[in-house]
């Protein structure tokens, strides 16, 4: 069913929301809006993306009307080293919104993948653009079967829960949760975000994982997050390593 953006605007009348039939990537659309001076919180979304961007240069599968694909322009004064904290804060917010909207049990995989039944249902990408942060969120809502390379590692809310999910209500829940968690970051600082992430994620401590970093793979057991939100890994050779980037998966 086509997305009813008017309905979302009635739920959040203050919010500027642009919604398109199709776009290459909402990251590029949001960057243009940021360059034009749009207010913080402005949202741009689309029914499909023809060149959806994922983390680590990957593509984001964005079939028509099967997900929520949107970017939010955020104007928050944060030192650059706290960018990972912001992405974690958005991850916690989206996980909370999905759990509240669907009743599904949700997990978070560092740095910010949202999982249901151990498969990815949502990815988050944050980029610095024109003195703003553009936060892209992709949620698989209605895909019942994932294509080849995603089968087994991704799922959708409807495939996992077996019942219909209103994309409009979910978008409103996510935006409200992102606002709440940004307030928490502003008021209580990064430690509160790190604590919230650790509580919501089964991956941050005591989990055997492989970390893919392009040319190298690290294997070991996770041992919490450091004071900047980076993942600590005890590698099998006894080395304690701080993971700044990479894809984490259970071994
Ligand atoms: C990831 O790799 O986990 C991050 C995926 C982010 C996907 C979203 S969909 C909306 C926004 N537009 C994009 O092109 N990417 C992000």
pLDDT tens-digit series, residues 141-176 = 997 677 778 878 899 999 998 789 999 999 999 999
* Residue of higher predicted confidence among 247 and 11: 11
Helices vs. strands in the chain: H and E counts, helices first: 6, 12
Mean pLDDT over residues 81-87, rounded? 86
Q: What is the pLDDT of residues 177-202, one digit of tens each?
A: 999 999 999 999 999 999 999 999 99
In this predicted structure, what is the pLDDT of residue 92?
97
In this predicted structure, what is the pLDDT of residue 77?
84
Task: Tell me how far the alpha carbon of residue 167 is from its chain's centroid.
Answer: 16
In this predicted structure, what is the pLDDT of residue 56?
83
Does the CB atom of residue 23 touch ligand 1 within 6 A?
no
The lowest-confidence range among 53-67, 145-159, 168-182, 224-238 is: 145-159
CB 95 within 8 A of CB 108: yes
Strand partners, 20: 46
Q: Does residue 74 surpass a pLDDT of 90?
A: yes
Which residue is closest in CA terms to ligand 1's atom 9? 138
Does the CB atom of residue 43 touch ligand 1 within 6 A?
no
Instruction: State the distance from the centre of ligand 1 to the C-alpha of 24, rounded, in angstroms.
Output: 11
The lowest-confidence range among 22-36, 70-84, 86-100 is: 70-84
Instruction: State the distance from the centre of ligand 1 to the C-alpha of 135, rounded, in angstroms.
Output: 9
Mean pLDDT over residues 57-78, rounded? 93
Q: How far, in Å, CA of 145 to CA of 140, rounded?
A: 11
In this predicted structure, what is the pLDDT of residue 7?
97
The lowest-confidence range among 54-58, 138-142, 175-179 is: 54-58
Instruction: State the distance from the centre of ligand 1 to the C-alpha of 23, rounded, in angstroms.
Output: 13
In this predicted structure, what is the pLDDT of residue 236?
94
Q: How far, in Å, CA of 116 to CA of 242, rounded?
A: 26
Does the CB atom of residue 109 touch ligand 1 within 6 A?
no
Q: How far, in Å, CA of 165 to CA of 169, rounded?
A: 8
The SS3 of residue 9 is helix
| Residue in 30, 60, 135 to alter for ligand 1 test, most ligand atoms within 8 A of Cβ | 60
Task: Report residue 17 as tokens.
Answer: 């929301």
Instruction: State the distance from the centre of ligand 1 to the C-alpha of 138, rounded, in angstroms.
Output: 5
Which residue is closest in CA terms to ligand 1's atom 16? 136
Q: How far, in Å, CA of 3 to CA of 138, rounded?
A: 15
Does the CB atom of residue 125 touch ligand 1 within 6 A?
yes
Strand partners, 247: 212
Q: Does residue 246 surpass a pLDDT of 90?
A: no
Q: How far, in Å, CA of 135 to CA of 42, rounded?
A: 11
Instruction: State the distance from the centre of ligand 1 to the C-alpha of 244, rounded, in angstroms.
Output: 20
Strand positions, DSSP E, the chain: 17-20, 43-46, 67-74, 106-109, 113-116, 119-129, 132-140, 205-213, 216-225, 231-235, 240-243, 247-250
Q: How far, in Å, CA of 59 to CA of 65, rounded?
A: 18
Q: Which helix (H) or strand (E) holds 109?
A: strand 106-109
CB 132 within 8 A of CB 33: no
Instruction: State the distance from the centre of ligand 1 to the C-alpha of 163, rounded, in angstroms.
Output: 24
Does the CB atom of residue 26 touch ligand 1 within 6 A?
yes
The distance between the two most distant Cα atoms of the chain, rounded to a whole number of Å, is 56
Q: In degrees, to the nearest 5, what angle opens at C-alpha 98 toward C-alphas 93 and 99?
A: 100
pTM of the model: 0.95
User: For all residues of the chain together, what is the average pLDDT?
Assistant: 94
Residue 248's closest CA among 126, 110, 118, 122?
A: 110
């Amino acid at each position: 069913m086509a997305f009813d953006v008017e309905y979302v605007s009635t739920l959040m009348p203050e919010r500027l929301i642009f919604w398109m039939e199709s776009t290459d990537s909402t990251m590029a659309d949001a960057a243009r809006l940021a360059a034009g001076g749009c207010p913080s919180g402005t949202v741009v979304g689309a029914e499909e993306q023809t060149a959806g961007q994922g983390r680590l240069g990957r593509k984001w599968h964005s079939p028509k009307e099967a997900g929520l694909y949107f970017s939010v322009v955020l104007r928050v004064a944060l030192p650059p080293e706290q960018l990972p904290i912001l992405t974690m804060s958005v991850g916690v917010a989206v996980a909370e919104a999905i759990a509240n909207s669907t009743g599904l049990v949700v997990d978070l995989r560092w740095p910010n993948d949202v999982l249901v039944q151990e498969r990815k249902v949502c990815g988050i990408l944050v980029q610095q653009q024109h003195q703003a942060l553009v936060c892209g969120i992709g949620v698989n809502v209605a895909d019942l079967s994932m294509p080849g390379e995603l089968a087994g590692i991704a799922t959708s809310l409807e495939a996992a829960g077996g019942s219909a999910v209103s994309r409009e209500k979910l978008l409103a829940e996510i935006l409200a949760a992102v606002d709440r968690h940004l307030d928490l970051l502003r008021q209580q600082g990064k430690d509160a975000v790190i604590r919230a992430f650790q509580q919501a994620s089964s991956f941050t401590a005591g989990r055997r994982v492989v970390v893919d970093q392009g040319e190298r793979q690290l294997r070991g057991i996770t041992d919490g997050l450091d004071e900047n939100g980076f993942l600590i890994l005890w590698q099998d050779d006894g080395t304690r390593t701080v993971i700044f980037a990479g894809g984490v998966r259970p071994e």
